[in-house]
Amino acid sequence: MNLPNKLTVARAIAVPFFIICFMKGLYPAALVIFVAASFTDFLDGHIARSQNLVTNFGKIMDPLADKILVYSALCLFIENKTISAWMLIIILAREFAVAGMRTVAASEGRVLAAGMSGKIKTVLQMIAVILILLAHCLPDIPQIMVAGYAIFIASLVMTVYSGAEYVYKNRDVFSM
């Protein structure tokens, strides 16, 4: 297993530790774990592309590890009433639609590439989660939560936009 894939696996392994720390109210530890895991997303992609280490495992597991990390945080935020469930429902609906389209395309031997707007969506989600976690660490500075929430709303807008863009660009999948 190459280094980028090891970083991806490490990101997935970090998730239970992040969840445990958050649920026990150890917000600084949860923040450190989330930031470190998020950084591995940047790092594994950079290394894989720059050293020509892109693998099928990485193509599948990298975005999956991202989703597990971010959506775990969002579920925790729903539980402690930081965000509303409908927000995660919008995100999941987009993900299921994209996954469904990719499955249909794959059954025809076609690969649907991720678009830049989807990558921006993921980055916005990670930044929002980091700020919201930081706000849990520093509750006396409410501006941090406001900023985190605003970026999360921006990520929701990007979620809808990137989903619509993905469906439009790949609409021929529906005629397969």
Q: Which domains does the chain have, with CATH numbers?
A: 3-175 (1.20.120.1760)
Residue 134: name the closest of 147, 125, 123, 152 by CA.
Answer: 147
Residue 176: band (very low, low, confident or very high) from pLDDT cuts 50, 70, 90 = low
Render pLDDT for 60-104 as a digit per residue (tens, 0 to 9).
898 899 999 999 999 999 999 999 999 999 999 999 999 999 889
Q: Which tokens is 105 given?
A: 């395309």
From CA 129, how far away is CA 11, in angstroms rounded? 15
Q: SS3 string of 16-48?
A: HHHHHHHHCCCHHHHHHHHHHHHHHHHHHHHHH
Contact call for residues 76 and 23 (beta carbons, < 8 A): yes
Contact call for residues 175 and 107 (beta carbons, < 8 A): no
* % of the chain beyond a pLDDT of 70: 99
pTM of the model: 0.92
* DSSP-based three-state secondary structure for 82: coil
Contacts 24+ apart (CB under 8 A), 156-160: 156/87, 156/90, 156/91, 158/117, 158/120, 158/121, 158/124, 159/90, 159/91, 159/94, 159/121, 160/90, 160/94
Render pLDDT for 12-47 as a digit per residue (tens, 0 to 9).
999 999 999 999 999 999 999 999 999 998 899 899
Residue 114: band (very low, low, confident or very high) from pLDDT cuts 50, 70, 90 = confident
